[in-house]
Amino acid sequence: MPTSRYGKALKKLRSLCLALPESCEVEAWGHPTFRAGKKMFAAFGEYDRVLSLGLKMSDERQDELLEDSRFFPTPHAAHQGWVSLRIDNQTDWDEVNRLLREAYQQVALKRMLKALDTEP
């Protein structure tokens, strides 16, 4: 599965996710996932031959994001607020970083959120 496109996107994603307080990468279901402590906030992989990033969002935010054609309900997890973003050559990594921070805030513990707030 890993192609050079996959590898470049995963490298960028890792740098963004692992910069968040107490975050870690765990392989699950054959995909890299990113967690705040024990709770997953992002997952990366291919679905229907499309690279995508799954993100944990609030129900309201999920509805808002799904109005954008770049997003789709995350298979098997949409009912829990998960939404996926197609990753391609047009991906705005600043936007991805904002979305990752938002997803992280959905599951992070208070001490993690406090550490996030004190980052420069």
> What string of pLDDT tens digits covers the 120 residues of the chain?
445 667 899 999 999 999 999 999 999 988 899 999 999 999 999 878 889 999 999 999 999 999 999 999 998 888 889 999 999 989 999 999 999 999 999 999 999 999 988 766
Residue 78 lies in a domain: yes
Which burial class, exposed, middle or buried, applies to 115 when counting CB atoms under 10 A from its CB (0-12, 13-18, 19+)? middle
Residue 120 lies in a domain: no
Structural domain that includes position 40: 4-113
Residue 118 lies in a domain: no
Residue 101 lies in a domain: yes
38: domain CATH number is 3.90.1150.30
pLDDT at 78: 87
Residue 23 lies in a domain: yes
Which residue carries 């993690």 as its tokens? 112
Task: Provide the number of structural domains found in the chain.
Answer: 1
> pTM of the predicted model, to two decimals?
0.91
Residue 119 lies in a domain: no
Task: Report the alpha-carbon distance of residue 24 to residue 19 in Å, rounded.
Answer: 9
* Distance separating the N- and C-terminal Cα atoms of the chain: 36
Residue 41 lies in a domain: yes
Helices (H) and strands (E) in the chain, counts: 4, 6
